[in-house]
Chain A
Amino acid sequence: MSAPHSPLDVDRVRKDFPILERRLAGDHPLVYLDSANTSQKPAAVLDVLAEHYTRHNANVARAVHQLGEESTAAYESARDKLAALINAPSRDEIIFTKNASEALNLVAHTLASGLADDPRYRLGPGDEIVVTEMEHHSNIVPWQLAAKRTGAAFRWFGLTDDGRLDLSTIGELINERTKIVSLVHQSNSLGTVNDVATVVARAREVGALVLLDGSQSVPHQPIDVTALGVDLLAFTGHKMVGPTGIGVLWGRREVLDALPPFLGGGEMIETVDMTGSTFAPIPHKFEAGTPPIAQAIGLGAAVDYLTGIGLDRIHEHELTLTGYALEKLNAIDDLRIIGPNSLEGRGGTVSFVVDGVHPHDVGQLLDEQGVAVRVGHHCARPVCVRYGIPATTRASFYLYTTFDEIDALADGLHQVKRFFG
């Protein structure tokens, strides 16, 4: 089969990512199919990081000197870029965290703390928390802890055999007792893109909050929080060509104002007295201590890079790749796709199992041909349990992925089968 046409000039994109020129052991070119794990970084982001430390380094929001002003301006300008990226109504609604896990934990922890004035933002016995069986562990464990701490019930949507949310029980599952529904936009293991609108509509009927984990969607498609209608959105920088150590929590102002502080410390206060303290308005209320300054600025550069290319074009490129990959993988005997086996409602992450060969062995043999994939349960173990498999092999694509690389994956899998056959 011949490769279809992509809207991106991928050869040109690849020149922006120095690491893609690397040769691996055995002089194999790097075939990087692990972007759902972490993405590679373009020179534009790497240069901004070096430039910050080389020329502007200072702490933010507390220095009156010139470097402090430059650093603060760059940090706050990154906030503007993130707000524009997801069409947030206000820049103050962008909270920098260290990653998506921290953003999710922030919401779970503050709801469970019982410190909110408004009872709608306090979890307790009789309340219900709803997640899904396809969540990353970072959107399961914080809620299990919150449930344990508060006596709230922890409930979840199951999955259909073809890797989608089973919404047949939505009317009962999301009910008047539901305080919050926290779900993933695009599954990191199945590639499924969830029907957020249906969940939001039901949550609205009962007055429940909706928190969306956008770690695997914000990097890959245009996101508009206002159009989505969710209350909160968590995502991370390193999966969207930005640095590690920086994540984002967006929330509607009303929600973020109502939630109590998460971490206490410098910059999150209004005034501190030995008899009690008052807190800064958002976003600073949730940004205690020196933040990841260079990382936030680097993420701002990543946003510039992605929007310069166009997230709609990136999305279209990835769908084209995914269609090609599904066709190639389905043509391999004894290979089974775990997750939606069509382009409908899915993104560029494809998990699969090869009968008779453990994913660890698949990954090892692919690596020896220079093909980097992820193997294991991908921090979403309940998905593996649901489908009765110990682990999967996962290939994930991004704007720099080529059709040749998918051919290399398929060729590699044929070798794996010969080796273990």
Chain B
Amino acid sequence: MSDSLYQEIILDHYKHPHGRGLREPFGGEAHHVNPTCGDEITMRVALDGEKITDVSYDGQGCSISQASASVLHELLTGSTVDDAFATERVFTELMQGRGQVEPDEDVLGDGIAFAGVAKYPARVKCALLSWMAFKDATARALSGAGRTS
């Protein structure tokens, strides 16, 4: 059942999320909501120059949205802002590819498990919620705008 959507990797991240919980210090924060289903995520990004030293988050929602945040934390913590944005673009392309895009494991790591989600249009925004929040939080950290929602 649901083999293509609910990959074991996704369920693992959902049941045992990596890096969950909001931490100090941080340079930017963003809170995103999916108004149709009520999924929520708060994302914090800490920068040291160009380097992302921490991505912390908290939220509530379905397995797809919460597992996606866990994968994001794992992939982007420790990378540069440019690399993180490049990864974000690849993940977004995969999600918006209607199942036609071949996932690149070198770039996306566990993120390739979400390839099946792309075939479920109603769930794509669940997978993208934390990534959009990450983009906003990072932009705020870069501009020194800090915490807003």
Closest to A415 in B: B1
Contact between B63 and A358, CB atoms less than 8 A apart: yes
User: Chain A interface: which of B19-27, B37-45, B49-57, B81-89?
Assistant: B37-45
B107 surroundings in chain A (CB, below 8 A): none
Q: Does B2 sit within 8 A of A, measured CB to CB?
A: yes
Q: Are A419 and B2 in contact (CB under 8 A)?
A: yes
A360-B37 in contact given A390-B61, A419-B6 (Cβ < 8 Å): yes
Cβ A364 vs Cβ B38 within 8 A: no
Bound-state CA distance A376–B36 (Å) is 7
- Per the bound structure, the CA–CA distance linking A364 and B5 in Å amounts to 9
The answer to whether A360 touches B64 (Cβ under 8 A) is yes
Quick one: which of B2, B39, B40, B61 contacts A364, CB cutoff 8 A? B2
* B2→A390 contact, CB < 8 A: no
Measured between beta carbons, the chain B residues less than 8 angstroms from A384 are 38
User: Are A390 and B40 in contact, with the CB atoms below 8 A?
Assistant: yes
- Given A360-B126, A376-B36, A391-B37; A419-B120 close (CB under 8 Å): no
Residue contact B37 to A375, C-beta cutoff 8 Å: yes
CB-CB under 8 A for A368 and B1, given A375-B37, A376-B36, A391-B38: yes
Q: Which A residues touch B11, using CB under 8 A?
A: 420
Q: Which residues from B are CB-within-8-Å of A358? A: 60-63
A415 surroundings in chain B (CB, below 8 A): 1
In whole Å, how far is A370's beta carbon from the nearest beta carbon of chain B?
Answer: 12
Does A365 have its Cβ within 8 Å of any Cβ on chain B? Answer: yes
A368 near B62 (CB under 8 angstroms)? no
Whether the pair A364, B1 counts as a contact (CB closer than 8 A) is: no
A377 proximal to B (CB < 8 A)? yes
Q: Are A360 and B2 in contact (CB under 8 A)?
A: no
Given A358-B63, A390-B61, residue A365 in contact with residue B2 (CB < 8 A): yes
- Identify the 6 closest CB pairs spanning chains A and B, nearest first: A360-B62, A358-B62, A390-B38, A376-B37, A391-B38, A361-B63
Give A365 to B4 CA distance when docked, in angstroms. 12
Would you mind naming 18 contact pairs between A and B with Cβ atoms under 8 Å apart?
A358-B61, A358-B62, A359-B62, A360-B39, A360-B62, A360-B63, A364-B2, A364-B120, A376-B36, A376-B37, A376-B38, A377-B38, A381-B38, A390-B60, A390-B61, A391-B38, A415-B1, A419-B1
